[in-house]
Amino acid sequence: MKIKKVVVIGSGTMGSGIAAHLCNADVPVTLLDLTTEISEKARERIHKSRPPLLIDKTKIDKIKVGNINDDFDVVKDADWVVEAVVERIDIKHNIYEKIFKSRKAGAIVSSNTSSIPIKILSEKLSEDEKKDFCITHFFNPVRYMGLLEIVKNENNDLDKINSLKKFCEDELGKGAIVCNDTPGFLGNRIGVFAMQVAMTEAFRMKLSIEEADAVFGRPMGIPKTGVFGLYDLIGIDLMSDVLKSFIKELSQNDPFQEVAKEIPLITKLIESGYTGRKGKGGFYRMNKQNNQRILEAINLETGKYSPTKKIELGIETVNLNLLIDRKDKYGEYAWSVISKIIKYASSLVPGITDKFNDIDEAMRLGFNWAMGPFEMLKSIGVQKFFDRIDNFENNQFLEKLSKNKDENFYGERQKYTDIETLGKIKPKAIKVDKNKSADIYRFKDYNIVEFTTKACALDYDSMDALKNATDKPLIIINESMQFSAGVNLTYTMDFADKGDFKSIEKFIKYFQDTCKHLKYSKYPVISAPSGLVLGGGEEVAIQSNFVVAHTNIVMGLVETGVGLVPAGGGCKEVLWRWCQTEEAKSDPDFAPLKVFNIIGYATTATSTVEAETLKFLKPKDKKVMNRNSLFEISKKLIEENKNFKPPEECKFNLSGKPLKEKMIKTLEKLYNEKVIFDHGMEVGKELATVLSGGDTSIEKTLSEDDLYKLELDSFMKLIETKKTQDRIKHTLATGKPLVN
Ligand code: NAD
């Protein structure tokens, strides 16, 4: 069955998110609510949403809106009707009655409920209607969350469920996992339990919220919001409702009950409007003192706020064993939380699913964990886990594993999908090399490089790995969230602090050489970015021969923000692309001026569509909705390019001084308007030097090496200034730019 038209009923947070995402997939969609005014407002919200729910904002009008009384006829044409109204069973039942009276024969009807069992949702449906009814549980924000749980009932037409799953994978790019009808399904059952354990253990062990978030965060492969930060993000009041629903739905002896009990401090926070980021604050709050915004954290014992303290655990990347082996309160907390999560998740097999693998994948896709509970167990080691765990009665999974102690119990990854993912390939590939910043794999007759640093920040070793891997066709791809947030600024600042600018120059030169090498090496190089593709990360991607990009990438040359210019070939490459436009043919200054604006303002694209308008991506680059497919599509490109020939070198004719003066005029205007200050002016002037071609004239032809040289010279001038160093330090400390 083909899904060509969809109707979404309920235009709140989820309905609007689902409609926007269908629009992203070019599927005609109508959004209905009680009144057209409500659904129109929803469309406005979609348009203004940040991060944007739409990949291409110009398509907003493709989402049709209406109300459930006057416009219900659209249901007759729909192949799929998604109900996303308030979580009230009576309202949902009424809507189903109406839908099933109008829907076309065989059309799928699904609910986005997060807590009502399908048994109850479908209790008033006929056997025939039940065949086409299921739950499609999307996560918020729909465009960005990878997980979709599909819950079926015993009457379902399985072919139809499978074709819906395939549609959601191929067209909507979701990781669609089919699960049983149990409370909270997979993701929330484990995810919310994990949050509650992390929270209650922090109370019990008297950790501060910053300490708990530092442990239950990056070192555990969990997003840096940790538990208390995530509570604030979701909404403390909403979390309280979620817990009430779990308490009601789950049996009295479920360990969830123990960790879901009401906590007086939380009740007090909700009552006083401290519901999280959307309220006056939550566990964290922003306080203004002497015109300065200060982030404060609550003391779990006293309920008083004080400025947050940075907790340094000295663990940069995911490393469970380093964490649980610590002989301090952090090690104890980590073990307590991790072991409880593993115990609970494994106790639910086969009850909530007989595929433990699906639980892990649900945690990756729905909560952005780097590994799920069973991978955590694998990474700790089976023997070590059982040496340390106290008891595990009534846990079939652990009882069996404790007997066979099979360290290889895990088997394959990502069983829920037929796509040949990087996660599936890695265990089959040979790890040919590894350094502290990247791994090189060989699979069949090509190489794979995966960056392994925090946010995949790039340093000398990352470049070394890339260069060494070009002896075969190469795919640069990551399982972790970001392709690369750019050059490792801490690494660069360590040299600057010692006054060792020679080492910085050597690194940047090596970065340039590597990128040039990627572009012109004998074999094709493919970058398959997702997540952040910033600064140096973008330079690697755009100097690869092919790009296979996830549609949710955030891409930009953001170096000016830290007082630098892109110096790994970013200025050169984007300039070259703009030089190929029609406008550039009649006006030699068109391209440099355009790129001056793009890089000067550190413009970032929040999707492949935006990236293409900025020429960060080319029309021929692949734009892919399903992140899981990046590897498969890259591999296909290698197969299609057996007779690959490297591109011709680029040549530039730039106007030099008169062009630079035009750029400086723009800078002066911004300076007078106080948009930029003294150092902004200096950075702008260096960018102008690079993009105008330096000491050149329009008749003179410049090579790529000339442009690389200009980038390097300007970069070095800037990094040696105190004000650029101040900018870098500020960004490293706060994550925000310093305007100086
Ligand atoms: P919401 O309150 O933001 O929106 C609900 C919408 O339904 C409102 O616009 C309301 O006007 C509309 N509505 C109410 N009665 C209606 C009717 N009879 N006909 C048409 N529209 C009607 O709710 P939400 O957060 O979008 O949640 C929708 C569903 O998705 C719920 O079942 C919820 O459990 C589930 N869910 C929510 C989230 C989340 O994070 N918010 C996540 C997953 C699932």
Say what percent of the chain tops pLDDT 70.
100
Mean pLDDT of the chain, nearest integer: 96
| 34 CB near ligand 1 (under 6 Å) | yes
Helix/strand/coil for 80: strand
| Closest atom of ligand 1 to CA, residue 92 | 18
Overall average pLDDT of the 448-464 stretch: 96
Measured CA to CA, the distance from residue 476 to residue 467 in angstroms comes to 11
The pLDDT of residue 334: 98
For ligand 1, the distance from its centroid to the CA atom of residue 11, given in whole angstroms, is 7
On whether the CB atoms of residues 242 and 256 are closer than 8 A, the answer is no
C-beta of 33 in contact with ligand 1 (< 6 A)? yes
> What pLDDT shows up at residue 178?
93
Q: How far apart are CA 258 and CA 199, in angstroms?
A: 12
Which residues lie closer than 8 Å to 365 by C-beta, 6 or more apart? Answer: 145, 146, 147, 174, 175, 177, 187
- Cβ–ligand 1 distance for 91 under 6 Å, the answer yes
Q: How confident is the model at residue 192 (pLDDT cuts 50, 70, 90)?
A: very high
Ligand 1 mean position to 353 CA, how many Å?
Answer: 27
- Collapsing DSSP states into helix, strand and coil, what is residue 545? coil
Q: Taking residues 446-456, report their average pLDDT.
A: 95
Which amino acid belongs to residue 98? K
Ligand 1, residue 113: give the atom nearest the CA.
32
Per-residue confidence at 456, pLDDT binned at 50, 70, 90?
very high
Q: What is the mean pLDDT of residues 74-86?
A: 98
Nearest CA to ligand 1 atom 25: 13
Q: Which residue's CA is the closest to the ligand 1 atom numbered 29?
A: 84
* Residue minimizing CA distance to atom 44 of ligand 1: 114
pLDDT tens, residue by residue, 509-527: 999 999 999 999 999 999 9
Q: How many Cα atoms occupy the beta-carbon half-sphere of 216 within 13 Å?
A: 34
Ligand 1 in reach of 15 Cβ (< 6 A): yes
| DSSP secondary structure, 660-702, as one string | HHHHHHHHHHHHHTTSS-HHHHHHHHHHHHHHHTSS--TTSPE
For 356, residues 6+ apart whose C-beta sits below 8 A from its C-beta are 345, 346, 349, 374, 397
- Point out the least confidently predicted range of 45-54, 116-125, 310-319: 310-319
User: Which residue, among 466, 441, 638, 672, has the nearest Cα to 569 in the 3D structure?
Assistant: 466
**Could you give the CA distance from residue 451 to residue 108 in angstroms, rounded to a whole number?**
42
Type of residue found at 492:
T
Tell me, what's the pLDDT at 508? 98
* pLDDT surpasses 90 at 292: no
pLDDT in tens, 99-120: 999 999 999 999 999 989 999 9
pLDDT tops 80 at residue 740: yes
Sheet strands (E) in 578-634: 604-605, 622-624
Give the position, in ligand 1's atom list, of the atom nearest the Cα of 115.
Answer: 34
Q: Which residues pair with 31 in a beta bridge?
A: 8, 65
Torsion of CA 481, 485, 488, 492, to 10 degrees: -170
Atom 8, ligand 1: which residue's CA is nearest? 12
Return the number of other C-beta atoms located less than 10 Å from residue 257's C-beta.
14
Q: At residue 1, does pLDDT exceed 80?
A: no
**What values do phi and psi take at 441, rounded to 5?**
-110, 150
114 CB near ligand 1 (under 6 Å) = yes
Mutate which of 14, 21, 81 for ligand 1? The one with the most ligand atoms within 8 Å of its CB, which is: 14
Atom of ligand 1 nearest to the CA of 11: 9
CA distance 142 to 10: 15
* pLDDT tens per residue, range 310-346: 998 988 788 999 999 999 999 999 999 999 999 999 9
SS3 at position 85: coil
Asked if residue 489 has pLDDT above 90, the reply is yes
Q: Is 87 in the pocket of ligand 1 (CB under 6 A)?
A: yes
CB 570 within 8 A of CB 557: yes
Task: Quote helix, strand, coil % in the chain, to nearest 5.
Answer: 50, 15, 35
Among 91-95, 133-137, 478-482, 631-635, which stretch is predicted with the lowest mean pLDDT? 478-482
> Which of 7, 86, 120 best tests ligand 1's pocket when mutated (most atoms within 8 Å of CB)?
86
| Sheet of strand 305-307: strand arrangement | 284-289, 292-298, 305-307
Which domains occur in the chain, in start order? 6-180 (3.40.50.720), 187-404 (1.10.1040.50), 422-558+603-644 (3.90.226.10), 563-601+648-740 (no CATH)
Place of tokens 């549980």: 137
**Burial class of residue 324, CB neighbours in 10 A (0-12, 13-18, 19+):** buried
Reported as a single tens digit per residue, the pLDDT across 645-704 is 999 999 999 999 999 999 999 999 999 999 999 999 999 999 999 999 999 999 999 999
Span from the CA of 33 to the centroid of ligand 1 (angstroms): 10
Above pLDDT 90, what percent of the chain?
95
Q: How far apart are CA 714 and CA 404, in angstroms?
A: 62
pLDDT tier, 277 (very low <50, low <70, confident <90, very high otherwise): very high
- What is the position in ligand 1's atom list of the atom closest to the CA of 16? 26
Greatest CA span in the chain, whole angstroms?
82
Distance 140 CA to ligand 1 centre (A): 12
Are the C-beta atoms of 608 and 551 separated by less than 8 Å? yes
- Mean pLDDT confidence for 551-578: 98
Q: Compute the distance from residue 15 Cα to the ligand 1 centre, in Å.
A: 7
Residue 650 buriedness (CB in 10 A; 0-12 / 13-18 / 19+): middle
Average pLDDT over residues 462-484: 96
Ligand 1: does its nearest atom lie under 6 Å from the Cβ of 459? no
Q: Show Cβ contacts of residue 483 under 8 Å, excluding neighbours closer than 6 positions.
A: 451, 456, 476, 527, 528, 529, 530, 531, 532, 533, 537, 541, 553
Phi-psi map region of 8: left, alpha, beta (phi>0 left; psi -120 to 50 alpha): beta
First-to-last CA distance in the chain? 59
Q: Does the CB atom of residue 86 touch ligand 1 within 6 A?
A: yes
Nearest protein Cα to ligand 1, atom 35:
113
- Three-class DSSP category at 441: strand
pLDDT band at 736 (very low <50, low <70, confident <90, very high): confident
pLDDT value at residue 553: 98
Residue 115 confidence (pLDDT): 87
Q: For residue 83, how far is its CA from the centre of ligand 1 (angstroms)?
A: 8
The CB of 716 under 6 Å from ligand 1? The reply is no
Q: What pLDDT sits at residue 316?
A: 78
Please tell me the distance between residue 10's alpha carbon and the centre of ligand 1 in angstroms. Answer: 6
pLDDT at 34 over 80: yes
User: Who contacts 595 (Cβ-Cβ below 8 Å, separation ≥6)?
Assistant: 571, 574, 575, 578, 691
Contacts with 44 (C-beta within 8 Å, 6 or more apart), sequence order: none
**Smallest CA separation from ligand 1 atom 4, residue:** 12
The enclosing H or E element of 501 equals helix 501-520
